[in-house]
Each structure stands twice: as C-alpha cells, then as structure tokens.
Amino acid sequence: MIFIAMSPLKAPLPDIMTTHEAKDAMKIEFEPIGFVRTALEKVPRHWTVSEAEGEIVINEEYAGGIKDIKAGQHIVVIFYFHQSARFTPDFLVQTPHHRNESLGVFSICSPVRPNPIGMSIVEVLGVEGRVIRIKGLDMRDGTPVLDIKPATGNGYDAATEK
C-alpha cells in the first residue's frame, strides 16, 4: 500500500472551462469491448437485488485482457444503456418506480441520464474462452459493455487488487 504525502488544499484552484467551451472542445467516443447475453426477457432492476445469470462475450481483439478473471471474484461492469430514452432536462429530477420521492438524476440509478452509462458489480461464475459467465446481472440482452474492472474496496477482493 503506497500513500503519497499530501498537504491540505491551500493553493487557489485552477480555472476550468465554461460549459460552452467544454462542450465545443470535448466529445468522447467509445466502442464496445463486448456484449451481454442473457436469455431473460425481463431483468431485475438493479444488481444489488439480482440473482440473474448471463454472459459477457468479449470481442476477439480484447479476449486476451480477461485472462486473470476468475470464478468467485466480483467485477465492475461498465456498460451503455443502449435502449434508454434520450436525456432531456425534464429528467434532471426523476421519481423512481420503486420509491416515492423526486430525486436528482445523480442520486439514482435510472438509465435515463445525461450520459447513459451503467455500472453493475456482478459475480463471476466462470470464464471459458472469451465468455465470462456472470451472476447478479441487471443488463438486458445485447447491452454493449464498455469496460470491466476488478471490484475493489469496501470488502471486494481488497487484499488482492487495488
């Protein structure tokens, strides 16, 4: 474990771009590294309440990157909500179906968000070739996967990976 010495924030914080400048300056483009496959027509609404099983099929060019993913561990899956409604300012505050309050979009896990990015932590059941079998999914069949990371911190595999 390495700690880097830090002093409290004293220096003035640097300026950032204004919204307008930032939007002009920056479009960030990603491509799927693979896709979710599941036979389920309806998936649980959130990974914290899911026992659903399925697979992540990694594109051939990236298959070498999953060689150290093992059964029993948890992985963070970052994915694209490819079927969600397009975000408009009306969705800045939403009332989730299962709750009774209006909440800011950054306090809920709705798929309708400024950037439709999902994140789920799932259990690895096994890896065969370029297929990762997973449990606890909440992604629909065909969901494009953008990244996979080891689940670390707060109890997840903290001893082995950081």
Q: Of these, 71, 83, 126, 149, which contacts a second copy (CB under 8 A)?
A: 149
Task: Report residue 23 as tokens.
Answer: 């939007």
CA atoms 69, 76, 134, 79: torsion sign = negative
Interface positions, 9-68, toward a second copy (CB under 8 A): 9-14, 16-17, 19, 22-23, 26-33, 35, 37-40, 42-49, 51-55, 57, 59-62, 64-68
140 is a site residue for a second copy (CB under 8 A): no
For 18, 78, 79, the CA distances from 54, given in Å and listed in that order, are: 42, 15, 15
Q: Which is nearer to a second copy, 71 or 93 (CB)?
A: 93
Could you tell me the smallest distance in angstroms from the CB atom of residue 132 to a second copy? Answer: 9
Q: What are phi and psi of 37, to 5 degrees?
A: -125, 125
154 is a site residue for a second copy (CB under 8 A): yes
Q: What are phi and psi of 152, to 5 degrees?
A: -130, 160
Could you tell me the smallest distance in angstroms from the CB atom of residue 128 to a second copy? Answer: 13
Print the binding letters for residues 96-135 with a second copy: x by CB under 8 A, - otherwise: --x----xxxxxxx---xxx-x-x-x--------------
Could you tell me the smallest distance in angstroms from the CB atom of residue 139 to a second copy? Answer: 13
Q: Which is nearer to a second copy, 128 or 154 (CB)?
A: 154
Could you tell me the smallest distance in angstroms from the CB atom of residue 72 to a second copy? Answer: 13
User: Residue 121's closest CA among 88, 151, 93?
Assistant: 151
Contacts of 88 (CB under 8 A, 6+ apart): none
Could you tell me the smallest distance in angstroms from the CB atom of residue 25 to a second copy? Answer: 9
The Cα–Cα gap between 74 and 56 comes to 13
Task: Report residue 25 as tokens.
Answer: 């300056």
